Amino acid sequence: MQKRPYHAIVSDMDGTLLNEHHVIGDFTAQTLEHLYDNKVDIILATGRNYFDVSSILKKTKVKEAVLITSNGAQAHNLQGELLLNNSLPEEIAYQVMNLPFDDNRVCVNSYQADGWFINKDIPELYKYHKDSGFLYEVVDFKQHHGRDTEKVFFIARTPADLVELEQRLRQDFGEKISLTYSTPICLEVMNKNVSKATALAQVIGQREYGLQDCIAFGDGMNDVEMLAEVGKGCMMGNADPRLIQRCPQLETIGCNTDEAVAVYLRAIFGMD
């Protein structure tokens, strides 16, 4: 491998590093392993939970990595050591979980203390987590609690189903929360000042290099700040159209179905 152009690669998971089956393809796994063997730091930045992500990555031969999860609410190393934590205040989390919405069009979820909670059974969500086995527990959120809440997220049938809910969240909570979309139909709520970018800056702040020495990949609106602040940000060909419109200065590469992140990394790092 030629002289490394970047000290770290930072990647989103769904729609980016993972293929259409929501798993790491063999070509991608081999690429990550080769980069790791050549002292390139591996950093994953995702809306997923730590247990979910670590289970996926541990199927590769990568032994060390940083996992930024719940859109930046937490970061761990691959051994499970907590590097940073920024949960929603308990009362705000409980209020967000119990906002009114059309139960036929939207479901509410939370990640709390390594658990995934949801207000109704939706078996089609299993496909996203079959590789890790990370499954939800159905609860009545009115009887639930807001402790240790990394994020609350709403999944809808269509983007239009989230418009009124987003307006209500901004009106009721303002700067007390952070709002983003991981996909056009998934609206996510974290504590104020939480993003993949803020978590990445804290992680890189402990290294002997800076954000300009990182290359990052993403496909969603929750990747905007991260892609803009690293040395090189790349958008997927299958990215949310709003991301492409928001960041026209960034390079667009191929699609996750073709393991385009791995293809791109092999090219710029001079890997055979």
Question: Cβ contacts of residue 76 below 8 Å, gap of 6+?
Answer: 50, 54, 66, 67, 69, 82, 83
Instruction: Tell me the residue type at 190.
Output: M
Closest residue by Cα to residue 95 from 108, 85, 86, 114? 108
Residue pair 27/57 in contact by the 8 Å Cβ criterion: no
Asked about 12 being catalytic, the answer comes back as yes
The first and second tokens of residue 21, run together, are 């089956």
Q: DSSP strand E in 74-134: where?
A: 74-77, 82-85, 106-112, 115-118
Catalytic residue, candidates 12, 161, 219, 240: 12
Closest residue by Cα to residue 218 from 230, 209, 205, 227? 227
Beta bridge partners of 11: 44, 217
* CA pair distance 19, 59, nearest whole angstrom: 15
Instruction: Tell me the residue type at 111.
Output: Y
Catalytic residues: 12
